[in-house]
Homo-oligomer: A and B are copies of this chain.
Amino acid sequence: MPAEEGDPLVRAVEATLFAAEEPLTIAALCAHLGDADAADIRVAIDDLVAFYCGRGVELVRRGAAWHFQTAPDLAHLLRREREQVRRLSRAATEVLAIVAYHEPVSRAEIESIRGVQTAKGTLDVLMEAGWVRAAGRRDAPGRPVIYATTQAFLAHFGLESRRDLPGIGELRSAGLLDPVDDAFDALADPKQSGEAAGPE
């Protein structure tokens, strides 16, 4: 039997997150629950996370927002008739990864990594999916538009934050997220050339 059965705020947060059609931030919960205090809501969420841990449904954080979802290990039961996810072209997945690991990043930077021009449609597909957004312009000649990932990207790929991107720590320390010029200079100047575990 649940111990905190009675806590009205926990129940309210639980019900609201259950009923919501999208992940909710603490601020959104505050606003929705009227006079609730952000710190109290935070406590209620921690309560719920612990409570649902190990169940068939869990409460997870995606960026600044929270939502309920089915436990990943039950995928085999649920996947069956549902393939709700559109297949991405190889170009699109590559561009998505580059945006995620390098954000914010301009189209020219994406192209210099991939070594090919990126069709306009590729970024459009990612923006339409809601995973990539234009995030202003770079303060550089030509003021190019720069791109970044979204909250929906984190939610879709089950990431709490960009720090959870697979391998991002190793890639960064290996210098593989730095531009070629920087990496070259680092190699030319042996003081900076830390050993770097390459991919694979």
Contact = CB atoms under 8 A, between A and B. Distances in A.
A14 interface: yes
Given A2-B2, A19-B70, A14 B55 contact: yes
The complex is assembled from copies of this chain, and their number is 2
Nearest to A82: B19
Interface stretch (A5-13, A90-98, A185-193): A5-13
Contacts of A55: 2, 5, 11, 14
Interface string A68-105: 10110010011010000000000000000000000000
Interface in A32-47: 32-34
The 7 lowest CB-CB distance pairs between A and B, nearest first, are: A14-B56, A15-B56, A11-B56, A15-B70, A5-B54, A15-B74, A18-B57
